[in-house]
C-alpha cells in the first residue's frame, strides 16, 4: 500500500521544509519537493500541517508493582495514551526479579507482546550484583537490550554500592551497553525520612523535603567520576535539579561521554505543588524542585547540555476507591489514597506519556522559545540515537519506519484528563490551554489515531531490538 502525504511541513532534527513524503506499508520510501500521485496511491493533503516523526519516550514504567498496588497503565493502555499524544515508541524497564537476566527479559517480553499498541523496547535494571549477574549482562545484547539502569538510592532494595556500579559500567562498556543512573543519595534520604516520621511530618511536601536536591547533585558528580574511571558512557535519568545540570556540564567539558534526560514535571511544577490539598498527585521520585532549578533545566535543554525529554510515566489513581470509565468498563485500581496521612506510603509516580509532546509543543514551539527542529531533536531523534534505534525511529528518512504524526499547529484546546487517555483519574495539566496538537498518528504506516478516534489495537506494537551503543551517536 502506497500512501503519499503532500504539502506538509516535514520536520526533522535538522530542518523544516515543505515537501512530500511517500511511504509503502511500514517504511518511508521517498521524500521530495513534489511527488506526483498516481492511482495506486492513497493521497493525504497535509497543507497547513507539520509532519513529525513519531515521538520516542525512553523512560516509562508500565504495569509496575509498587506499595501493594500497580501502576494504572499497562502495556496496552499506556501505549494507547502514548499514541494519542504523538508518541509511537516507548522503552520500559525490566525489573531484576531474579539473577537470571535473560529470563527476566523474556518474561516481560511475553507480558507486553499481546498488549502493546505501539512499538517498544526495554532497559534492564541491575539492582543486585552477583557473579551470575555479571555473566548475564553481556547476554542482554542478544535479547536486543543495550542499556541497563543502576541506582544510588532505595537502600536495601534497588541500590548498588559505588564499587558495584563501577564493575557494572565496565562490563557494560565492553559489550556496547549504555549505563543509566537514578541519581539520589540513598543514605541521606533514609536518615531524613526516619526523622520526618519520628517528628510526625507526614504530609506530601515532606516527600520533597526528605530528598534534598544536593543529594542528586553530588550523585551526578560521583557517578560522573565513576564513569571517568570506568571509561564508560553514562546517561542520567530524570534530572530535576539545576545543580545536576552544572555537574553534567562540568563532566562534558572534561571530555566525558555523559548524557542527560529531564521530564516535563520538572520543567513546570515545583515542590510547592506538593503542599496543595491534593499534593499527593505530584509525588514522584525524584521530587519537583524550585523555579530556579526549572530555569537551569531549560537552559540545559536549549544549550545541548541535556539531550532528551522523557516522562518517567508511572501513573496511579489519585483515589483508587472510585472507578473511572475506560473503554466502556469501570476501572478502579488502588492508588495514592493508600498513603493518606503518610507520604512514605504514597505510590511514587505520575502520568505523562500522553502529555509530553502536546504540552511541550505549546510551551516550546508555540511560545517561540524553541524551533520545531529543536523540539524533534529532544523528543524524537536524540532519544532514538542514544538508545540505538536511529534512523529506524526518531526521524523522517527513506528507510525509516513510517512512524508519522500530522500535527496541526493552529489547533487549540483545553487539556486535561478527558483528552490525555492515560488510565488514571487525574491529569497534572488539567485546564491548560494548548496550541498545536496531533490530529493523525501512524505507527509503521498504520493509522492508529485519527481526529481523536482510536483505530489501534492491543498487540500490534512490535518489540524493537536495539543496536549496541555508538560512541558517536549524536555526531
The reported pLDDT for the residue numbered 1 is 83
Q: Whose grid coordinates read 498527585?
A: 281
If you average pLDDT over every residue of the chain, what do you get? 97
- Tens-place pLDDT, residues 167-205: 999 999 999 999 999 999 999 999 999 999 999 999 999
Asked whether residue 153 is assigned to any structural domain, the reply reads yes
The CATH number assigned to the domain holding 264 equals 3.20.20.140
Which of residues 366, 382, 414 is at a domain's end?
A: 366
Q: Where are the beta strands (DSSP E) in 34-157?
A: 41-45, 50-53, 55-57, 65-66, 69-70, 87-94, 119-125, 147-151
Asked whether residue 237 is assigned to any structural domain, the reply reads yes
Residue 368 CA to residue 400 CA, distance in Å, equals 29
- The answer to whether 341 and 280 are in contact (CB under 8 A) is no
The reported pLDDT for the residue numbered 84 is 98
- Tens-place pLDDT, residues 381-402: 999 999 999 999 999 999 999 9
Residue 41 CA to residue 447 CA, distance in Å, equals 15
Which whole number is the average pLDDT over 269-284? 97
Which residues span the domain enclosing 445?
Answer: 2-53+395-454
The reported pLDDT for the residue numbered 148 is 98
- The answer to whether 352 and 345 are in contact (CB under 8 A) is no
Same domain, 142 and 239: yes
Asked whether residue 461 is assigned to any structural domain, the reply reads no
Band of pLDDT at residue 351, cut at 50, 70 and 90? very high
Asked whether residue 97 is assigned to any structural domain, the reply reads yes
Same domain, 60 and 182: yes
Q: Is the pLDDT of residue 475 over 90?
A: no
Same domain, 352 and 423: no
Q: Is the pLDDT of residue 39 over 90?
A: no
Q: Whose grid coordinates read 524533534?
A: 376
Asked whether residue 466 is assigned to any structural domain, the reply reads no
Same domain, 43 and 77: no
Asked whether residue 328 is assigned to any structural domain, the reply reads yes
Asked whether residue 297 is assigned to any structural domain, the reply reads yes
Same domain, 227 and 344: yes
Which whole number is the average pLDDT over 23-27? 97
Largest CA distance in the chain: 75
Band of pLDDT at residue 369, cut at 50, 70 and 90? very high
Asked whether residue 362 is assigned to any structural domain, the reply reads yes
Same domain, 403 and 273: no
Query: What is the DSSP track for 330-388?
Result: EE----GGGGTT-GGGS---B--TTTHHHHHIIIIIITTSS-HHHHHIIIIIHHHHHTT
Same domain, 201 and 81: yes
Which of residues 321, 346, 366 is at a domain's end?
A: 366
Band of pLDDT at residue 254, cut at 50, 70 and 90? very high
Same domain, 243 and 163: yes
Same domain, 43 and 62: no
Q: How far is CA 251 from CA 105, 162, 330, in A?
A: 32, 18, 50
The total of structural domains in the chain comes to 2
Which of residues 366, 383, 406 is at a domain's end?
A: 366
First to last CA, the chain: 34
Same domain, 21 and 86: no
Same domain, 169 and 295: yes
Same domain, 20 and 89: no
Residue 467 CA to residue 258 CA, distance in Å, equals 18
The CATH number assigned to the domain holding 438 equals 2.30.40.10
Residue 436 CA to residue 180 CA, distance in Å, equals 32
Amino acid at each position: 500500500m502506497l500512501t503519499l502525504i503532500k504539502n506538509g511541513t516535514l520536520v526533522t532534527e535538522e530542518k523544516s521544509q515543505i515537501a512530500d513524503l511517500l511511504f509503502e506499508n511500514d517504511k518511508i520510501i521517498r521524500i521530495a519537493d513534489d511527488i506526483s500521485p498516481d492511482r495506486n496511491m492513497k493521497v493525504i493533503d497535509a497543507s497547513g500541517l507539520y509532519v513529525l516523526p513519531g515521538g520516542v519516550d525512553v523512560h516509562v514504567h508500565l504495569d509496575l508493582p509498587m506499595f501493594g498496588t500497580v501502576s494504572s497503565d499497562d502495556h496496552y493502555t499506556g501505549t494507547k495514551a502514548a499514541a494519542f499524544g504523538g508518541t509511537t515508541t516507548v522503552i520500559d524497564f525490566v525489573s531484576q526479579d531474579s539473577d537470571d537476566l535473560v529470563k527476566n527479559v523474556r518474561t516481560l517480553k511475553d507480558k507486553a507482546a499481546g498488549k502493546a499498541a505501539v512499538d517498544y523496547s526495554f532497559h534492564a535494571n541491575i539492582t543486585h550484583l552477583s557473579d551470575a549477574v555479571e555473566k548475564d549482562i553481556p547476554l542482554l545484547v542478544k535479547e536486543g537490550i543495550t542499556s541497563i539502569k543502576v541506582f544510588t538510592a532505595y537502600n536495601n532494595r534497588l541500590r548498588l554500592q559505588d564499587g558495584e556500579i563501577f564493575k557494572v559500567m565496565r562490563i557494560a562498556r565492553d559489550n556496547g551497553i549504555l549505563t543509566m543512573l537514578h541519581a539520589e543519595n540513598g543514605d541521606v534520604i533514609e536518615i531524613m525520612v526516619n526523622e520526618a516520621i519520628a517528628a510526625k511530618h507526614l504530609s506530601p511536601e515532606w516527600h520533597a523535603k526528605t530528598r534534598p536536591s544536593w543529594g542528586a547533585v553530588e550523585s551526578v558528580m560521583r557517578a560522573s567520576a565513576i564513569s571517568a574511571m570506568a571509561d564508560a558512557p553514562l546517561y542520567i535519568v530524570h534530572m530535576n535539579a539545576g545543580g545536576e545540570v552544572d555537574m553534567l556540564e562540568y563532566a562534558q567539558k572534561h571530555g566525558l561521554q555523559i548524557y542527560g534526560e529531564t521530564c516535563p514535571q520538572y520543567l513546570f511544577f515545583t515542590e510547592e505543588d506538593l503542599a496543595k490539598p491534593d499534593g499527593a498527585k505530584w509525588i514522584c521520585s525524584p521530587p519537583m524542585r524550585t523555579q530556579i532549578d526549572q530555569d537551569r533545566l531549560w537552559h540545559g535543554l536549549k544549550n545541548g547540555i541535556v539531550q532528551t525529554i522523557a516522562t518517567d510515566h508511572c501513573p496511579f489513581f489519585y483515589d483508587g476507591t472510585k472507578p473511572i470509565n475506560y473503554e466502556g468498563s469501570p476501572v478502579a485500581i488502588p492508588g495514592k489514597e493508600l498513603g493518606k496521612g503518610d507520604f512514605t506510603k504514597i505510590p511514587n509516580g505520575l502520568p505523562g506519556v500522553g502529555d509530553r509532546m502536546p504540552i511541550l509543543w505549546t510551551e516550546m514551539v508555540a511560545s517561540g522559545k524553541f524551533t520545531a527542529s529543536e523540539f524533534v531533536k529532544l523528543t524524537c531523534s536524540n532519544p532514538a540515537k542514544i538508545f540505538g534505534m536511529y534512523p529506524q525511529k526518531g526521524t523522517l528518512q527513506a528507510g525509516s519506519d513510517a512512524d508519522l504524526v500530522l500535527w496541526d499547529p493552529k489547533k487549540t484546546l483545553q487539556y486535561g484528563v478527558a483528552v490525555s487517555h492515560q488510565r488514571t483519574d487525574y491529569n497534572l495539566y488539567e485546564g491548560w490551554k494548548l496550541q498545536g496538537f496531533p490530529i493523525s498518528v501512524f505507527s509503521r504506516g498504520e493509522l492508529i489515531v485519527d481526529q481523536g478516534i482510536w483505530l489501534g489495537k492491543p498487540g500490534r506494537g512490535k518489540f524493537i531490538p536495539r543496536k549496541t551503543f555508538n560512541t558517536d551517536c549524536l555526531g
